[in-house]
Structure formats: C-alpha cells, structure tokens
Amino acid sequence: MTPQHAAKIFKNIFPRNPQSAGSITLWNGDQILFGDGQPNFSIIIKDARTFEDILSQPSLGFGEGYVNGSIEIVGHLSDALEWLYQNDIDNRLTPIQKARICWLHIKKKASLSQSRADVQFHYDKGNDFYKIWLDKGMNYSCAFFTREDEGLEEAQVNKIHRSLKKLRLRPGHKFLDIGCGWGSPLIEAVKTFGVRRAVGLTLSKKQYELGNQRIQEAGLSEKAEIRLQDYREVLDDEFGTYDRILSIGMFEHVGRENSELFFKTAARLLKNRGVFLLHTIGRTRKESMDPWITKYIFPGTYLPSLGELAGKAQKKGFDLVDVENLRQHYDRTLGHWAGRFEQNIDQIKQIMGEPERRMWLFYLHGCRMSFRYNPLHVFQLLFSKGRRHDWPLVREELYTS
C-alpha cells in the first residue's frame, strides 16, 4: 500500500474533530493533521505493513506495532489512544476498504512466516513488580471512589469494606475468598469484621507466599490462611461450611466452558441462605474479546454478559439480590495504575526490557479507554443461596450497619 493510499483512507475514517487535535506521520514522512489547533500528539507509523495490520485488526495491529517499535507516539500515549477509541476505526471503514484490507492481510500472512516471542504473562512478573504501581494492599482489581479527589489507597480500602458489608459479614462467620490475590480482603474480614475463619484460594505461587506472610505479620495466622489451590480442588468435607463467599477479579479467568461449574462449586461450598458476592468484568451482551488482550495479557479470558451471569447462577440455586456497575470506577483505577507505572519507570526498566514495558503501558492505557468508550463494565452481583426475605430494602443500609 502506498503512503498516498494510506493518507486517503485515514482522511476518510478520521473526520476533522475540533475537540481533539492530533497528527499521523506516515513512513515516507507525510503528515496528516486532524482537529483544530496544535496537535496534542503524533502517531508515527514506520512502515506499510504496520498500517495494514492496524486496519485489519485495529487493537491487535496497533498494540503490536507500539510494542515492537514500528509505531512511535510523540506526546502522551493516553491522548493518542483516547483519540483512536473515540473515532473507532473498524466501524468507519467502507465495505470496499474492508475487502481490500482483508485481501492485503491474507496475502501478507500467506507469504510470511513469523515467530512471535513468548510473552511473560501477568502473574509471573513477581511481587516486586506489582508493589511498584499497585496500592499498599496489593489490590489488583477495580477500586471504589467516593470523591473526585480520592486517592488509590483510600479507594481500594473502600472497595474491600463495601464488598464485605454487602455480604453482611458478621463475627463468627466462616469466609471464603476465591481468587484472593495477596490477601487484603481476608485480613480485613478478620480484623474489621471479626470472622472466626477466613480462607483464600489462589493459583499464583507469588501471591500465596506474600499473602500468607502478610497474614502472619498481622498476627492472624490462627484465623486466616491462603491456599495454593483451585476452587475445584476444595475437598468435599468443606461443602456447606462457608457462611459467605467473595470472588473479586477471578471469574474472568474461569472460561466459558467452566462457568457453570464455578457457580455449582460455589453453591456447594456455601451454607443454605449463605451469601455470595461476585465482582467481575463483563458486558451487557455477548461480544468477542479484544484480540490483543487475549494474545498478550490474559490468554483464555472470558468476559460474560450480565444475562449469562444471572442465568447460570440461578441454574445452580442462587437468587440474585443486588447488581452494581463500577465501570467509571475502573476508568479511574486504571488511570492511577498507569500514572504510578509511569512515575516509577526507572524501577520498571530494571525489571523488564523495553518491549515489555511498552506492552504493559499500552495495556493499562488501552484498558482505561476500553472502559471509557467500549461496552465494558465491572459488575458486582450479590447472590443468596436460596431466596431470603430479610434483606434491607435500601442498599445504603448495607454500608451503615
């Protein structure tokens, strides 16, 4: 594809937008300006192949191009990504353009054999990496903000306390956290809510080690523990023993084929009339996953629709009590994470190479824009095992009791 043809396509799909000024510089040096005034950023595309990749699969093509250096951003990455998400390349191409780009993409794939470097996925990075940019409690999930100026540390504590209050957690309860991360909800369940026993499950050895260390340092080892265990490996003698179950940011990794088994197992572990809070990224309808995220960040990720979640839970004996959408809160959370990541970039560079650094930065900013402009949500669904008639009439009563 020639630079002239590329410029024509870009001008067609990106109309002038007075609210956002930017530019695209092509591999021959030609610059295309969009919006009014001085550009806030410039996207530099270094070769025609990268341009074709972007148009054939926008998220994957742009993400790979940014990570491997065939795309450079002058200015801030988040400004460029917000502009791209606002303009939605895929839905602006004409059928003729899509057909031509598809043909170019097939032709290229048939003539090239590329081996892609293995990418180290999320939890193999180790605790030192996450300590750099997460909050002190090491919470790697959506926070809850009560004020415009609230910081990440306070917002993550808010999220934990609101989640445990929704469960109506009480002294003497036995509490299970499926996918417990580094253990902050377990610690709070014992310290603040007085549960007699708190058990967390994780498949990450790093989380298991540090989480139990944190529990020991807090003097809670007699009441809390983290197991290196899958939810399907919990023994039968624990069925029907837990008063409350929490799962935050883990269901996305269960997979569509195991989703009903997950609800079945949770129901079997819970006492009758027990309460279960599920916190997960999801959608309002079935849609395909972002190809860049599934390839480089969360392979095997499954983001269910709200209807799927409610329907599959009901089939296993759960009654839906409450639903809350935290989408805007995740936008803010990701903004804090990206800001901390960039502020500590020298430490990050000591842990990983340049391609991985760019990959993580693209992931954090890209996910933020996805929650801002795409149909992604964060749902907190509250279930009871069997119907209960003693629930507060007003949600606020959960947080003031």
Any idea which architecture 3-111 has in CATH? 2-Layer Sandwich (3.30)
Stretches where the chain sits below pLDDT 70 are 1, 9-19, 88-124, 288-290, 292, 294, 296-300, 401
Q: State which amino acid sits at residue 397.
A: E
pLDDT in tens, 155-213: 999 999 999 999 999 999 999 999 999 999 999 999 999 999 999 999 888 899 999 99
In the sheet where 31-34 sits, what is the strand order?
31-34, 22-25, 42-45, 71-74
pLDDT for 107: 41
- Identify each DSSP E strand in 203-269 by its residue range: 224-228, 242-248
Burial 20-57 (b: 16+ CB within 10 A, else e): bbbbbbbbeeeebebbeeebbbbbbbbebbbbbbbbbb
pLDDT for 385: 97
| C-alpha closest to that of 43 among 2, 75, 89, 4 | 75
Active-site annotation holds for 142: no
1 touches 48 (CB < 8 A): yes
Catalytic member of 102, 142, 180, 367: 367
CATH superfamily label, 123-400: Vaccinia Virus protein VP39 (3.40.50.150)
Structure tokens at 101: 């780009």
Q: What is the pTM of this model?
A: 0.85
Query: Distance (Å, rounded) from C-alpha 116 to C-alpha 139?
Result: 31
Show me where the domains of the chain are located. Answer: 3-111, 123-400
| C-alpha closest to that of 194 among 226, 155, 220, 213 | 220
49 touches 18 (CB < 8 A): no
